[in-house]
Amino acid sequence: IPVDDFDLVIFGGTGDLARRKILPGLYRRFCAGQMPPTARIIGAARSEHDTEEFRRIVRAAILEFSSKHSCDEALIGDFLKRLDYVQVDARGEDGWDALKGMMRDDVIKAYYFSVAPSLFGDIAERLMSHGIADDKARIVVEKPFGRDLKTAKALNRDLAKHFDETQIYRIDHYLGKETVQNLMAVRFGNILFEPLWNSQYVDHIQITVAETVGVGGRGEYYDRSGAMRDMVQNHLMQLLCLIAMEPPSRFEPDSVRDEKLKVIRALEPIDHHHIVRGQYDATDDEPSYREDAGDPRSRTESFIALRCMISNWRWAGTPFFLRTGKKLKARNSEIAVVFKDAPHSIFGEEAGRHANLLSIRLQPNEGMTLKVTIKEPGPGGMRLIDVPLDMSFAEALGEDAEEITDAYERLIMDVIRGNQTLFMRGDEVEAAWAWTDPLIESWEARGDVPKPYEAYSSGPEEAAIMLHREGRRWREIK
């Protein structure tokens, strides 16, 4: 369904994120016929380019970052005609009046802040002082949204000076993933799961976001944040909220976000026995985390595993294990709901027991698997095995997996439609930092040193031990 006509300004339109994700994503929406033929995209950045050069940059980005079969020269040509460029300095006054002159009056206006967060306040202020944005305009802001509660509050305050909360779209691309939205469809569109979705039937839940890449060239930058700030406070926390929240009364922005906020506020503090932090070791030909970070004494974690508890009626007693890290064995993101054993085996213990498990895969190959117990086929008597009921979205939808995995394009279309459901509200972000800050402060105060782990492994041994202590085990990263 095509969206209404719009002018979208991308601040930082020549940057890495714009070239890798935002612009190729918009091109795919254009190809899908979702972008009205008159819609316009205006790149705005400090670099000295004109529109022709910007179009060349975008063309190269589409060829590099869109899957091959969507690269049709004629379509790319038509898409590029929708593009303009304006040179602006977020911290100066140059270029803003030119930008104003480019904007049309009677269409939806959206401003994507794909720049460093230190520029958010400057851009918001100039959009207003130059009379470019009005009270219907939408702004999209990228992560990181602060590095602690204090900085997040300051960012929220800077934006709130000029824009109402209903105009602010804080993006977390994990929420735009097909599987994440499907998680809500599975939970709230079926009668099967929700009655079992509580501590009476769920033994525990695991959320894993494993990456194979190290911090590489971004080492020094990454060293100022670490896995907790970079991944847990935002992406893993969002996944945790969606899996744990109460059913919202409607699939509407504030209904959903009110429920997510309640989950964050119900998170218990974690003591240090239930947090494992790690740093990857060097291999024969690749540097260690500390070498990548350029600091031989760095105490920043490239891996973290946590055992979280949610103090509410539904989840009391069910642990949520969160784990994320760099240079792990495989690129794999998964939410696994591990159900309890059936209360009694009528087949006897020798038949074997298998707990049901629902696995929701975010990458690679988005999809879901439900493990159910059946009889082992054949004449060998009543032995039980578990088999997967498997659904891969790529296969089910008959599309190229690459095409459905990209979340940015879906979220940008939600911005144009004015739907904030899959965007973080200011109070959610602050609540997440309010939970995260004391954990970070406590390990900093203790002088905690991350445990070394072998590169391309499953992380430090201590993370496995944390679960073994209570008779559980991590899902294999594969």
Taking residues 119 to 138 in sequence order and writing x for each that binds ligand NAD by CB under 6 A, - otherwise, the string is: x-------------------
Q: Is 88 in the site for ligand NAD (CB under 6 A)?
A: yes
Q: Is 214 in the site for ligand NAD (CB under 6 A)?
A: no
Q: 3-state DSSP call for residue 380?
A: coil
Q: Residue 231 or 357: which CB sits closer to ligand NAD?
A: 231
Q: Strand order in 138-141's β-sheet?
A: 83-87, 40-45, 6-11, 108-113, 138-141, 168-170
Which residues on adjacent β-strands are paired with residue 169? Answer: 140
Residues present in the chain in total: 478
Spatial distance between the Cα atoms of 62 and 98, rounded to a whole number of angstroms? 27
Near ligand NAD by CB under 6 A: residue from 116, 316, 355, 397: 116
Spatial distance between the Cα atoms of 254 and 109, rounded to a whole number of angstroms? 22
- Give me the least distance between CB of 143 and ligand NAD, in Å please: 5
Judge contact between 12 and 49, C-beta under 8 A. no
The residue type of 364 is P
Q: Residue 14 or 300: which CB sits closer to ligand NAD?
A: 14
Distance of CA 317 to the CA centre of its chain: 27
Spatial distance between the Cα atoms of 351 and 373, rounded to a whole number of angstroms? 11
Q: 3-state DSSP call for residue 89?
A: coil
Where does residue 335 rank: exposed (0-12), middle (13-18), buried (19+ CB within 10 A)?
A: buried
Near ligand NAD by CB under 6 A: residue from 28, 40, 46, 260: 46
Spatial distance between the Cα atoms of 257 and 421, rounded to a whole number of angstroms? 7
In angstroms, the Cα distances linking 470 to 207, 254, 311, 465 are 17, 37, 19, 9
Q: Is 53 in the site for ligand NAD (CB under 6 A)?
A: no
Spatial distance between the Cα atoms of 448 and 473, rounded to a whole number of angstroms? 24
Q: Is 89 in the site for ligand NAD (CB under 6 A)?
A: yes
Q: Is 226 in the site for ligand NAD (CB under 6 A)?
A: no
**List 130, 235, 344, 468, catalytic entry:** 235
Q: Is 17 in the site for ligand NAD (CB under 6 A)?
A: yes
State yes or no: is 235 an active-site residue: yes
Near ligand NAD by CB under 6 A: residue from 114, 234, 298, 373: 114
Q: Is 458 in the site for ligand NAD (CB under 6 A)?
A: no
How many residues of this chain bind ligand NAD (CB under 6 A)?
Answer: 23
- Give me the least distance between CB of 125 and ligand NAD, in Å please: 13
- Give me the least distance between CB of 144 and ligand NAD, in Å please: 6
Q: Residue 45 or 239: which CB sits closer to ligand NAD?
A: 45
- Interaction residues for ligand NAD, span 136-175 (CB under 6 A): 142-144
Q: Is 16 in the site for ligand NAD (CB under 6 A)?
A: yes
- Give me the least distance between CB of 370 and ligand NAD, in Å please: 32
Q: Which residues are catalytic?
A: 235
Residues in touch with ligand NAD (CB under 6 A): 11-18, 45-47, 88-91, 114-117, 119, 142-144
